[in-house]
Structure 1
Amino acid sequence: MPDLVFFDAMREGLWIAVMISAPMLVVALVAGVAIGLFQALTSVQEMTLTFVPKVGAMLVVYWVSMSFMSETLVDFFTSGIIPLIVGS
């Protein structure tokens, strides 16, 4: 396999990894900032207050975006990786 084909497949795979992980990371960031702001305003310093809502929000986003993630990965493998393995 030529180096350019390998690097192109690697670049596309990394971009798909960014696209798949972005919704969960954005929700974790927004939830963390909102909870941190709430803690700063109310002076509540409870450790589970930061962890549980953030994980809950990430689970909801994961459940909602599972079809997008699966379709994106299946499309990448069927149109990008498998033809490279087969050699066509």
Structure 2
Amino acid sequence: AAVIAAFFYLRLIVVMYMAAPSEAGVEPAPETGHVEAASATAAAAEPAGPIPVAVGAGVALAIAMGFTLVVGFLPSAVFDFARHATLLRL
């Protein structure tokens, strides 16, 4: 089962990232700068600058990243804390 899953996911990665892009449906942007509808090529364009993030979302991301790093580098401390927390039950 693991080999089948690995084949499936690796094949998916190859199709998504390593296939040559097709030229069908690609048109240059109009001179006026007005675009009628979004296209698949518009999603591939790089952003013009940094993407704004709300303060609350940034704080939540920082907390999640910090917790992930602590659990990744010091898993025994987290497991010990959880074990001691279960011993406090009455």
What TM-score range do you get, normalising by the shorter chain? under 0.3
Larger Rg: 2
